[in-house]
């Protein structure tokens, strides 16, 4: 609702929002530039100036000084936009000489030191807030662990949240507010994400990315309030992380475990979970190169690219060795098992083409079992391994098959990326089964190097204007009744033609798509800013 509110007989103040308790609440990112006056700084608030007593040379006590009057503040412009801002009248806040960051809880020391360093303030620990300070605190109210409240009042900033993650996100909002000499507007921000999983997935198997480059992306993701980084590090073209159990499979160009730990530690400081992926039973070409005896062969003895023979227990043992090894390296709560594009299931008659798989399926699951059942059993067995490490597992949607005697583990989350697979299942099939889904829609969220097949580089504008988390396949949204089952989404970089772009070109290419994606994952409403204004804001914030 937009209207006018009379503040004084001689002037009117325009404001945007719904009136609650006499204060306007600005929501959905309907914002303008923040009011930039600062006491003692480079501007004077409306109504401020030399008093009559001062001008006449009389004692200050002889006549009361007029009360300073400020315009009603406007909501900050940030990416993603804040969900709710209650405006107020006051000078706002910006970093000043002598200002400090203080914390109410020692658990917030890392968040406090980070924002203090970024804003060139002094970190003062648990010393109590004073004028000009930023104070961080834990408050067990709120709308979830990632929600936060940011209050600018009495020349101070207070950020509170139920958990450290929410406080961190509040500091990201503050950092954007004051970027480039801006001012955090007076008032209260109440903010929270719409979706719990906000991810960026990087294919480091087909293309080697340096640790420094990945760390730069972690910093970028943190400032944008993403909370997951997926690393797809095993595929036909390479295996890119040092291994102690199977060093023979590791590619020449790879990340050391020390580099991975550094990435994980940096991600943790930004409240980002790193989600590893060892795709199986397909996409294992780098493993097969060192273990050719594990490769799947058809009835004529022809090898199947990238696929291991899932009737051979040695294949399962090797993959489980890796899952167990890397569970000690990656401490996060999620694990991606892949499960897609197993080539034995792309032929017209899998049982006839691969009789050893058909025999193994019947032996393990009964006379009516199929090769698809054997593949589902493989996925379930790998899920059991990561469940044993207290991880939640996900797999690509084309690793789930309809019918059959073996059902995929009920706790497996569906990473929905395509509707192009053989026997494609609509998203509603997974949702109607009660499954949790993460949106990787290849129509909008796939950045595939070299644009092979029908892929084109996604644009931030198309994501911003057309995509929502409900759009799981193509450009058609599923019913809003399934919203709670869609846990979030992930923008993905795939390196099918690894030399098509340098890593710096990749960073530039995904810059605006990442910003558009997180805007749509953070706030479910239609963005208030036009694409042109959103892009200009992104350019201003850097």
Give 467-494 pLDDT, tens digit per residue. Answer: 999 999 999 999 999 999 999 999 999 9
18, 34, 12, 4: which is closest to 537 by C-alpha? 34
Element (H, E) at 64: none
Residues making up the chain, counted from first to last: 542
Give the separation between CA 92 and CA 76, rounded to whole angstroms: 11
How does DSSP classify residue 373? H
pLDDT at 46 over 80: no
The pLDDT of residue 403:
84
3-state secondary structure (DSSP) of residue 167 = helix
The set of residues, in sequence order, having a beta carbon less than 8 Å from that of 233 and lying 6+ positions away, is 204, 205, 239, 240, 241, 255, 276, 277, 278
The pLDDT of residue 364:
97
Give 95-122 pLDDT, tens digit per residue. Answer: 999 999 999 999 999 999 999 999 999 9
Give the separation between CA 158 and CA 174, rounded to whole angstroms: 10
Return the exposure string of 380-407: e unless at least 16 CB atoms fall within 10 Å of the residue's CB, then b. bebbebbbeeebbbbbbbbbbbeebebe
Give the separation between CA 395 and CA 375, rounded to whole angstroms: 12
pLDDT band at 68 (very low <50, low <70, confident <90, very high): low
Give the separation between CA 431 and CA 429, rounded to whole angstroms: 6
Report residue 164: phi and psi, to 5°: -60, -35
Other CB atoms within 10 Å distance of the CB of residue 238: 24
pLDDT at 434 over 80: yes
Q: What percentage of residues in the chain have a pLDDT greater than 70? A: 87
The set of residues, in sequence order, having a beta carbon less than 8 Å from that of 456 and lying 6+ positions away, is none
Give 222-238 pLDDT, tens digit per residue. Answer: 999 999 999 999 999 99
Q: What pTM was estimated for this model as a whole?
A: 0.88
The burial class, CB within 10 Å (0-12 / 13-18 / 19+), for 143 is middle
C-alpha distances in angstroms, 431 versus 88, 185, 202, 423? 44, 42, 26, 17
Give 184-223 pLDDT, tens digit per residue. Answer: 999 999 999 999 999 999 999 999 999 999 999 999 999 9
The mean pLDDT value of the chain amounts to 89
Give 299-358 pLDDT, tens digit per residue. Answer: 999 999 999 999 999 999 999 999 999 999 999 999 999 999 999 999 999 999 999 999
């Amino acid at each position: 609702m937009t209207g006018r509110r009379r503040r004084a007989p001689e002037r009117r103040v325009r404001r945007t929002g719904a009136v609650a308790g006499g204060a306007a609440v600005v929501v959905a990112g309907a914002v303008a530039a923040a009011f930039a006056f600062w006491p003692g700084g480079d501007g004077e608030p409306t109504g401020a100036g030399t008093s009559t007593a001062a001008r006449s040379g009389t004692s200050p006590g002889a006549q009361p000084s007029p009360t300073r009057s400020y315009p009603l503040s406007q909501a900050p412009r940030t990416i993603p936009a804040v969900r709710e801002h209650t405006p107020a009248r006051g000078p706002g806040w910006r970093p000043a000489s002598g200002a400090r960051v203080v914390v109410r809880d020692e658990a917030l020391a890392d968040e406090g030191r980070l924002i203090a360093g970024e804003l060139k303030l002094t970190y003062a620990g648990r010393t109590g807030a004073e004028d000009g300070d930023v104070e961080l605190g834990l408050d067990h109210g709120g709308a979830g662990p990632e929600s936060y409240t940011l209050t600018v009042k009495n020349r101070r900033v207070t950020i509170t949240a139920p958990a450290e993650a929410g406080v961190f996100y509040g500091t990201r909002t503050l950092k954007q507010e004051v970027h480039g000499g801006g001012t955090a507007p007076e008032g209260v921000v109440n903010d929270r994400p719409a979706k719990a999983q906000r991810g960026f997935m990087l294919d480091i198997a087909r293309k080697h990315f340096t640790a420094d480059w990945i760390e730069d992306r972690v910093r970028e993701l943190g400032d944008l309030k993403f909370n997951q980084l997926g690393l797809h590090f095993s595929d036909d073209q390479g295996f890119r992380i040092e291994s102690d159990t199977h060093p023979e499979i590791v590619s020449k160009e790879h990340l050391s475990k020390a580099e991975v730990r550094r990435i994980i530690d940096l991600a943790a400081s930004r409240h980002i979970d790193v989600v590893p992926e060892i795709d199986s039973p397909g996409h294992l070409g780098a493993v097969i190169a060192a273990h050719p005896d594990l490769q799947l062969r058809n009835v004529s003895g022809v090898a199947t690219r990238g696929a291991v023979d899932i009737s051979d227990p040695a294949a399962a043992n090797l993959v489980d060795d890796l899952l167990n090894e890397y569970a000690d390296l990656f401490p996060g709560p999620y694990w991606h098992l892949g499960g897609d594009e197993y080539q034995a299931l792309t032929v017209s008659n899998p049982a006839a083409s691969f009789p050893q798989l058909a025999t193994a399926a019947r032996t393990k699951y009964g006379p009516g079992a199929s090769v698809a059942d054997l593949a589902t059993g493989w996925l379930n067995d790998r899920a059991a391994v990561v469940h044993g490490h207290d991880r939640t597992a996900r797999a690509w949607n084309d690793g789930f098959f309809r019918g059959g005697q073996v059902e995929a583990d009920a706790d497996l989350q569906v990473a929905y990326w395509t509707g192009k697979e053989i026997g494609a299942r609509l998203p509603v099939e997974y949702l109607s089964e009660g499954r949790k889904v993460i949106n990787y829609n290849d129509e909008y969220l796939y950045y595939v190097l070299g644009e092979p097949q029908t892929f084109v580089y996604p644009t931030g504008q198309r994501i911003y204007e057309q995509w929502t988390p409900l759009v799981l396949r193509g450009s058609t949204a599923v019913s809003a009744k399934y919203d709670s089952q869609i846990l979030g989404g992930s923008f993905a970089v795939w390196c099918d033609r690894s030399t098509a772009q340098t890593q710096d070109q990749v960073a530039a290419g995904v810059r605006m798509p990442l910003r558009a994606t997180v805007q749509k994952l953070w706030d479910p409403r239609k963005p208030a800013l036009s694409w042109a204004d959103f892009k200009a804001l992104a350019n201003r914030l850097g």
